[in-house]
Structure 1
Amino acid sequence: MSSNDTVPSRLEIARHAGETSAYGGVRSVVLDDGAGRGIRVLEFRTGGGLYFEVLVDRAMDIGVAELDGITVGWRSPTGFRHPGLHEHADEEGLSWLRSMSGLVVTAGLDHTLFGGDVDATHYRYPPKQTVRHGLHGRVANIPARLVGYGEDWVAEDHCVLWAEGEVVQATNFGEHLVLRRRIEADLGGTEIRLTDTVINAGFDPTPHMFLYHVNVGWPFLDEGTRFVADIERTLWQTDSVAEQGADHLVFHQPQPGFVEQVYEHHLAADPDGRHRVGLVNPALGRYFEVDVDATAFPCFFEWLNLREGAWAVGLEPSTHHVAGDAAAREDGSMIWLEHGEERRYASVFRFGRTG
């Protein structure tokens, strides 16, 4: 066995099997039925109990995610819907909700949070004085160019499962932003490393907003599951919090007609400059943690969707406060990227056992 006495070494796997995938690996498949037909998927199996799927045609977001066969990533009623079915401007900009499912749904690249009209005169195209955004922007429904994937032995006892892709959000007389995404997991491991780089490939100054909608569902989310975070104070909450009063620290059973409760929490960073938030299910002896750079993602939202039939809790690191696009432009907090300028986001999603 390898030095940690749990994961086979490269030699040991070779002695027992013809390829690394006998223990763990990455496999490319294509969904072939229903609303997801045609979506390219990369299946990651670490051999350490972690299984997850990367939706290549959904901006390389993470769909299914399981630890020891227990579903962690939210499976919403929409399923994993092909981006060709997406209509960005439908339902007054709320059509994003028709393809919202899975562990990670990315929001951006030039807009997050609720939609509306904002100034577009910086693009210098007279017919386009404003641009209208829908909920959480466009990026989640753009297919990626798959750069590569596979299993790399970086040492005799250390193999990295990986995938890389590039998502281009562009239009004529508007934004030209590129998301370069790399996803890694160690053979035998129980964490996902997500590294995103957003670049302005265009020549106009372009707004940039970014958010991860990290969604956890049943059966990991269950009666008694706890939300764990170092909250210094809560900056904002929806009116539904006072109206319903559902606990946002310990969760109970799904409720009929529940109205979403959303909170913006100001988190304390740890000594490494990271924000760490998570959920713990004591009955299952399992936990899930989101670990992000506090400088890159200074804001954080907690989303409670405790409604029957769509039960989920969302952990949302964000570049901007809940007031959104127009407010960020007014108060000067909007990020403007010049040509060639980039922002990098290095995040970790940890799955673990408490027992």
Structure 2
Amino acid sequence: MQVEDGPGRGQRLFILRNSTGLGLEIAVDRGFDICSATWRGVNIGWNSANNLPWPPNSVDAEDGVGFYRNLDGFIVTCGLDHFGAAGRSDATHFMHKHRKEVFNPLHGRISSQRATISGYGIEWEKDAPVIWAEGVVRQSSVFGENLVLRRRVEVEVFGGTIRINDIVENRGFRPTPHAILYHVNFGYPFLDETIRIAGNLEPSQMEMFNSENKAPRDNFIDYFSEIPVATDTSEVVVELCNETIGGGIRTQLVFDRDNLPDFGIWRAFQSGVYALAFEPMRRASRETELLPGERASYRLGLNLMS
């Protein structure tokens, strides 16, 4: 569909619904990210007052924090060459006289890029049939990076599982820094003061989270904290549970720590924002630099259940 009114007028959305009450919206023109998620009529994801503005505001504005003028949605992808605070980095590897440095806005550029649709439909022939949509998103500059994200989103027809399969490829001819972070944002009413965390994380960190005050407050200052993963397996499972709504709802995030080795939680319990984010990530480094034609693959799973 296409949005026809309000701040998001003109942008394209995919709407996915399955037989068990799982609903998603994919913002095709906003990095092919998942902008809305509901489970049996209960809102799971987070949406801000920004209301998916289109065209998006410049991420370079306001000293590089223009990202906050756009931030909205259940899953917001950060990257593809940088995430985190705005700043400058060396760009001499691109070999151009006017490009000695590159400016990196807060959380990168990919979430404000529009996608090319590759296809969509339903695959009935599988043992577990899926609704699927695919898109290609490019982040590029002349004498700069040329990174392509190929994304496939799947939803089980008869289950509560969402899968995101991403491939990032360096389509340029120079080595290019690469970083990616998945901002998985939970919101009200699934997020409230009773929410609890469980899974493959450092136990003391989970105990601290479960005992702290998670109610919205006018003077709360948001913060991010990295949390060590506590499992010997490559697959990491982190769960949020709210026993007080919809008869009890659980959401599991599943990711591969071989490709997404670090994890953190963003607490934004300020009134009028009120969000909580799980953030698996891969930082930029010499080891994660992509050579020409090189690819990096990522898999993310979300299981919704009552």
Q: Quick check: TM above 0.5?
A: yes
| Cα drift, residue 229 of structure 1 | 3.4
Match of 1:349 in 2: 302
Q: Aligned with 1:101: secondary structure?
A: coil
The partner residue of 1:258 within 220, 241, 245 is 220
C-alpha offsets along residues 22-73 of structure 1, whole Å, 9 cap, x if unaligned? xxxxxxx111111111111010101111001011001110011000100000
Q: Which amino acid aligns with 1:142?
A: Q
Pairing of 1:1-355 with structure 2 (within 5 A): 29-82=1-54, 84-155=55-126, 158-232=128-202, 248-250=209-211, 251-269=213-231, 271=233, 273-284=234-245, 285-320=248-283, 328=285, 332-333=286-287, 335-353=288-306
Give the distance between the partners of 1:222 and 1:45, measured in 2 at CA: 25
Q: In the alignment, is the contact (CA less than 8 A) between 2:170 and 2:295 conserved in 1? A: yes
Q: In the alignment, is the contact (CA less than 8 A) between 2:122 and 2:131 conserved in 1? A: yes
| Cα drift, residue 276 of structure 1 | 1.3
| Cα drift, residue 234 of structure 1 | 8.5
Q: Aligned with 1:96: secondary structure?
A: helix
| Cα drift, residue 253 of structure 1 | 1.6
User: Structure 1 residues 295-304 or 250-259, which shifts more?
Assistant: 250-259
Q: In the alignment, is the contact (CA less than 8 A) between 1:71 and 1:219 conserved in 2? A: yes
Give the distance between the partners of 1:134 and 1:61, measured in 2 at CA: 19
Q: In the alignment, is the contact (CA less than 8 A) between 1:150 and 1:162 conserved in 2? A: yes
Q: In the alignment, is the contact (CA less than 8 A) between 1:233 and 1:266 conserved in 2? A: no
Structure 2 unmatched ranges of 5 or more: none
Aligned-pair RMSD on alpha carbons? 1.6
The percentage of aligned residue pairs carrying the same residue is 36
Give the distance between the partners of 1:72 and 1:170, measured in 2 at CA: 33
Q: Which amino acid aligns with 1:164?
A: E
TM value normalised by structure 1: 0.82
| Cα drift, residue 249 of structure 1 | 2.7
Q: Which amino acid aligns with 1:258?
A: F
Q: In the alignment, is the contact (CA less than 8 A) between 1:197 and 1:343 conserved in 2? A: yes
Give the distance between the partners of 2:16 and 2:56, measured in 1 at CA: 26
Q: In the alignment, is the contact (CA less than 8 A) between 2:31 and 2:110 conserved in 1? A: yes
Structure 1 unmatched ranges of 5 or more: 1-28, 236-246
Q: Which amino acid aligns with 1:50?
A: L
TM value normalised by structure 2: 0.94
CA 220–96 in structure 1, closer or farther in 2 if over 3 Å, else same: same
| Structure holding more helix per residue | 1
Give the distance between the partners of 1:234 and 1:108, measured in 2 at CA: 30
Q: Which is greater in Rg?
A: 1
